[in-house]
């Protein structure tokens, strides 16, 4: 999958599996390490802190999004 720079996107797995993510140019691997260290149920405050440090924009809510049924099935 190729995601153009600046494009909004998400990655979801219904089983909580592992993901091999390759990014070019390099530099955002620390973002994913920090998000992973927050565990499966991070608080909004924890996410906001990481977003602020890395300059990411979290999309509002996921109700009705095409991937929300995968998240719900994994719970």
Encode pLDDT of 28-56 as tens digits: 788 888 988 998 888 889 989 998 998 88
Residues 6+ away with beta carbon under 8 Å from 27: none
Both tokens of 69, joined, read: 């049924």
pLDDT of residue 45: 93
pLDDT of residue 22: 76
Q: What pTM was estimated for this model as a whole? A: 0.55
Write out 28-55 in H/E/C secondary structure: CHHHHHHHHHCCCCCCHHHHHHHHHHHC
Torsion angle, alpha carbons of 2, 74, 19, 45, to 10: 90
Does residue 64 carry a pLDDT above 50?
no
pLDDT of residue 74: 53
Dihedral sign (CA 14, 18, 23, 28) = positive
């Amino acid at each position: 999958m190729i995601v153009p720079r600046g494009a909004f996107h998400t990655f979801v797995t219904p089983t909580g599996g592992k993901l091999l993510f390759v990014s070019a140019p390099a530099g955002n691997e620390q973002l994913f390490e920090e998000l992973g260290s927050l565990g499966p149920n991070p608080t909004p405050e924890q996410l906001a802190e990481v977003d602020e440090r890395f300059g990411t924009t979290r999309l509002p809510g996921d109700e009705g999004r095409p991937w929300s049924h995968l998240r719900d099935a994994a719970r």
